Structure 1
Amino acid sequence: MTATSPRRSWLAYLAAFLGCGSLIGVLCFHFPQLMTSKDFRQVYSEAFARHLLLAGLIAAFVLGTLAVLRGRNRRVALLGVASATLAVLLGGSNVQFDAIGKTPYSLGLDWFVISLFFSALVFVPLERFLGREQSPLRPQWRTDLSYFFMSHVLVQFILILVTASTSALAGLAAFPGLKAQIQALPLWLQFLIAVFFADLAQALLHRAYHNIPWLWRFHAVHHSSRHMDWLAGSRVHFVEIVLTRSAVLLPLLVLGFAPAAVNAYVVLVGIQAVLAHANVRVPFGWLEYLLVLPRYHHWHHVRDRAWVDKNYAIHLPVVDMLMGTFQLPPRGEWPQEYGVLKLETVPDGIWQQHLMPFQRPPAKTGHETV
């Protein structure tokens, strides 16, 4: 942003975010079977959704009006006010809906809106006070928001595809005796074992992403972000999402872990994936040797050839210790620059980045653009 560029208005962008989110919420009430997730609907109540929708509508109108009166980012502010107005015309927080029908799929827009709202509510203030100074509206934030939308809205389609493939393979490799022994273990122990085996499988695949040229072409998209924050972790190519979920779910299905243990692992993945990329520069001390935390994973994303083969684990540093890829700099040191070594090799924008692996000629090594 140059010295003559107008400053972005927080009020305007918050109004747009809340107005559009409120409109999506009303549409979820009108078409729940198509737009909401069956599993996620069991997590929240109808009253909670209505109260959240009402708060979003009020905030969008108030913040949007203030932004327009201040004369900054008026188009963005008006988008929020117009979206909130349309949401009210479609029923607002009093919108009625019929019985929810059954469909083999849904867009899961409720999961996207609620997850985005609470992730931003928690991490934006944390990064403001505990992180490296940078605006949440930093360069390419729209690209990463698009990835956040894709990963949440398409999650059910991805899970259908992954579950179908992993279930078929698991059926071929099923060991009833081993499954019975694992399922006889306490649930907390199943969870810990599941985390270890899943992290080991993902770390091995992660290392392959860096060292096999055609796999690196997909993984380079994730490493192309030059700004680390809670939103940057969402930048993952669709093909990589499918491959990684398959590699992680397959060992858990083959070994027969209880659904509750697997669900607990999925919750951990969601929390730790956001936290590991977050712009939160807190000295966690000895905990960095037990759990993958921001500084640990930030060094995996550093724009430095010396780190291209380090810190592949997603949950447990002990996995990297076993693989010989564990490395941490002296306490308090953080990367100064992130991204692939050759910045020009990865284009900007979600569509260009999704097409890039199929257009670029194969690299000689997976590290040439790390």
Structure 2
Amino acid sequence: MARPHRSFFAHASALLGVLSLMAVACFHFPELLTSREFRAVYNEQFARHLLLVGLAAAFVLGTLAILRDRNKRIATIGVASATLAVLFGGTNVQFDTIGQTPYSLGLDWFVLSLFFSALVFVPLERYLGKRPLSPLRPGWRTDVAYFFMSHVLVQFILIVVTASTSTLAGLAAFPALKTAIQSLPVWAQFLIAVFVADMAQALLHRAYHNIPWLWRFHAVHHSSRHLDWLAGSRIHFAEIVMTRSAVLLPLLVLGFSPPAVNAYVILVGLQAVLAHANLGIRFGWLEYLVVLPRYHHWHHARQQDYIDVNYAIHLPLVDMLMGTFKLPRDQARWPQEYGVMKLETVPKGILRQHAMPFQRGRRFDDHVD
């Protein structure tokens, strides 16, 4: 029997309906479900207007899919979620001044990040993709779960990373060096921060590939068999903490100013998504200056002669200095296959993948292939 055609309207409705329901929950419980740091990026009116757009789109797209008899079950999820969102107050939910709580979840960060990332990259990959890859390709549910974990737990990750680096940064104090760096213009601090952080990240990244017990954590990230904007989210929680700590430590030790560090954080978020995106654009000489999709895709290639190359996430110069730069001169060449060399060593699903590094030597029947 032929596989039924997936309806874009139905799945877009489901996504928008569920995100709208989550947004309403954020309005009801802002102290618990929204990140204090991220609330400074947007205002209440923006959030309410965006919620209204999401609700209307979920209803319209879901209704059209149902009327066209296309993925009616998926479309019903979207319409039902949007209906629940309206019943629970919709854009009219009121709240007093947001109080302070010791901990909070970044559900608002997840909702807005997923919405805008999908809004930008789904059309780009649809029309500029190197491969004809559906957003609902195999493994997408696992990657959405990773995306959810890393965004919702953002405050807890920050607490752990800060605790692991602040003491060491305090011990390695270089007042004169900090003063010299902070005397530079912000743009110069930013460029130096990118190079320093990328060098620290690349050294740890190479250790992930060459130290067996570290590889078991990093293998989760390399287990993606299809690369797109969402695949970069598949990272073990322990690796998130280790990598962010390794990157933050030199930035704290050298004393870069907050504006320079904030600009670097924005770059990390953008480039991590872009590097994994399914974009077949030919960037020419820029591929030797900035890490772009084809460069990082070769790092993920399931090919023996590319398993120890292209560790940088920002600057190919870092790999050139490390002797790990490798890129085919023919810009038409892309990897034929992605994933770990031994597919049976990584199981499917976020929970089993988080347990996998502690099960040394195990082979899984239900693996990522």
Superposition TM-score tier, normalisation by shorter sequence = over 0.9
Q: Counterpart of 2:26?
A: 28
* Match of residue 125, structure 1, among 108, 123, 133: 123
Displacement after TM superposition at 1:104 (Å) = 2.1
Instruction: Give the 3 Å change call, closer, same or farther, for CA 33–341 of structure 1 in structure 2.
Output: same
Alignment of 1:124-163 (within 5 A): 124-131=122-129, 132-163=131-162
8 A Cα contact 1:214 1:362, kept in partner: no
Alignment of 1:10-29 (within 5 A): 10-29=8-27
Deviations 1:206-245 (A, max 9, x none): 0000000000000000000010100000000000000000
What is the identity, as a one-letter code, of the residue corresponding to 1:195? Answer: V
Alignment of 1:1-370 (within 5 A): 4-131=2-129, 132-330=131-329, 331-361=331-361
Q: Distance in 2 between matches of 1:134 and 1:78?
A: 25
Q: Distance in 2 between matches of 1:149 and 1:246?
A: 21
Displacement after TM superposition at 1:105 (Å) = 1.9
Displacement after TM superposition at 1:73 (Å) = 2.3
Displacement after TM superposition at 1:336 (Å) = 1.3
SS of 1:333's partner is coil
Aligned length: 362
Deviations 1:154-181 (A, max 9, x none): 1111001101111111111111111111
Worse-superposed segment, 196-205 or 93-102: 93-102
What is the identity, as a one-letter code, of the residue corresponding to 1:46? Answer: E
* Structure 1 segments (4+ residues) deviating >6 Å: none
Displacement after TM superposition at 1:45 (Å) = 1.6
Q: Distance in 1 between matches of 2:267 and 2:167?
A: 25
Q: Distance in 1 between matches of 2:65 and 2:187?
A: 50
Displacement after TM superposition at 1:362 (Å) = 8.6
Q: Distance in 2 between matches of 1:182 and 1:105?
A: 33
8 A Cα contact 1:303 1:338, kept in partner: yes
8 A Cα contact 1:213 1:362, kept in partner: no
8 A Cα contact 1:111 1:153, kept in partner: yes
The two structures, once aligned, show a CA RMSD in angstroms of 1.4
Between the aligned residues of both structures, percent identity stands at: 76
Displacement after TM superposition at 1:74 (Å) = 2.1
What is the identity, as a one-letter code, of the residue corresponding to 2:273? Answer: V
8 A Cα contact 2:193 2:264, kept in partner: yes
Displacement after TM superposition at 1:4 (Å) = 2.2
Instruction: Give the 3 Å change call, closer, same or farther, for CA 323–292 of structure 1 in structure 2.
Output: same
8 A Cα contact 1:21 1:113, kept in partner: yes
Deviations 1:93-152 (A, max 9, x none): 121112100012211111111111111111111101111111111111111111111111
Q: Distance in 2 between matches of 1:123 and 1:104?
A: 35
SS of 1:40's partner is helix
SS of 1:43's partner is coil
Q: Give TM-score scaled by structure 1 length.
A: 0.96
8 A Cα contact 1:61 1:84, kept in partner: yes
SS of 1:334's partner is coil
Q: Distance in 1 between matches of 2:351 and 2:69?
A: 33
SS of 1:228's partner is coil
Instruction: Give the 3 Å change call, closer, same or farther, for CA 362–213 of structure 1 in structure 2.
Output: farther
What is the identity, as a one-letter code, of the residue corresponding to 1:92? Answer: G
SS of 2:338's partner is coil
